[in-house]
Structure 1
Amino acid sequence: MPFANANSLARAVALIDEGFSQRYVARKLGVARTTLRDAVKRFRETGSYERRPRQGRKRCTSARDDRFLVTNVLRNRFTTAVEARYQLREVRNVQSRGAAPDL
């Protein structure tokens, strides 16, 4: 189980710096020893308690588009994903990734 927040990781690093073993600190905080080891290693490398940004596909929709989709699907729960996509395209003029621009 990963750390709940940066404060608990900071506490773990402080305990280890005080001389407690990783096994003791992991047991005291209720996390796996390997989780603690990896988190402390990440802190030592980056100097930050925050998690690293993950890789992945870039978002196609904004927060506004997401709210629009949620609102419309909640209004009509039988809307399919394809219908919701077409509604979003009509209202927000969202293009799919592979679409060529209109010239």
Structure 2
Amino acid sequence: MQRLFEIDRHRALGLLQAGLPISEVYLRMNVNRTTIFRFRQRLHETYTVSDRPGSGRPKRTTQRQRRNLVRNHMNNRFLSASASLRQIRERNNERISANIVRRRLSTSCLRARRPYICPILAQRHRHQHTLWAQEHAAWDGIQWRSVVFSDESRFCIDHADGRVRVWRRSGER
């Protein structure tokens, strides 16, 4: 069933109470016919237009707390989840974990990423790079075999690496 917002449910209720058939209501609201049919059926069962209670455990944070959390991280992108948790506990005395903070940020499309650091190349550096490339342009495979290239990757297996992270949306720098 297509989800109707609260205002759409009240609009559908008004149209149905005005005596319009389901075929006219779904055309006016531009939704599927079964959506209005099931809405009317549930209205007769529950006598209310509000949602039924959802299944599962209720969230530990409210929508307002989530918005505040996201706003804090948008204002200070380098704030860690555990530092944000300490602030929340000081203000609200809430019993939530750092994983809950990370999940709330993740559902708001914020991810912890490495900050973008651009190498600073002066005009002299660029000139030296160009000279090096021109000198080695004619090398053959035998000469290149004695050169080792390294990507300087870091691997951290059993502990936190201490690297600073920045919370950002995808596509942001």
TM-score surpassing 0.5? yes
Assess if the C-alpha contact under 8 Å between 2:26 and 2:36 holds in 1.
Answer: yes
SS at match of 1:7: helix
**Counterpart residue type for residue 9 of structure 1:** A
Trace 1:67-78 onto structure 2 (pairs within 5 A): 69-78=69-78
Q: What residue in structure 2 maps to residue 37 of structure 1? A: 37
Trace 1:72-91 onto structure 2 (pairs within 5 A): 72-91=72-91
Q: Structure 2 length as normaliser, TM-score?
A: 0.42
Q: What residue in structure 1 maps to residue 10 of structure 2? A: 7
Q: 1:51 to 1:79 in 2, by over 3 A?
A: same
5+ residue gaps, structure 1, are 98-103
Q: 1:27 to 1:55 in 2, by over 3 A?
A: same
5+ residue gaps, structure 2, are 98-173
Residue 53 (structure 1) aligned with residue 53 (structure 2): yes
Q: Structure 1 length as normaliser, TM-score?
A: 0.63
The answer to which structure has the higher helix fraction is 1
Counterpart-to-counterpart distance in 1, 2:72 and 2:62: 16
Q: What residue in structure 1 maps to residue 152 of structure 2? A: none
The size of the alignment, in residue pairs, is 94
Give the deviation of 1:34 after TM superposition: 1.2
Give the deviation of 1:76 after TM superposition: 0.7
Larger Rg: 2
Assess if the C-alpha contact under 8 Å between 1:26 and 1:33 holds in 2.
Answer: yes
SS at match of 1:95: coil
Identity in percent? 28
SS at match of 1:43: helix
Counterpart-to-counterpart distance in 2, 1:79 and 1:25: 50
Q: What residue in structure 2 maps to residue 100 of structure 1? A: none
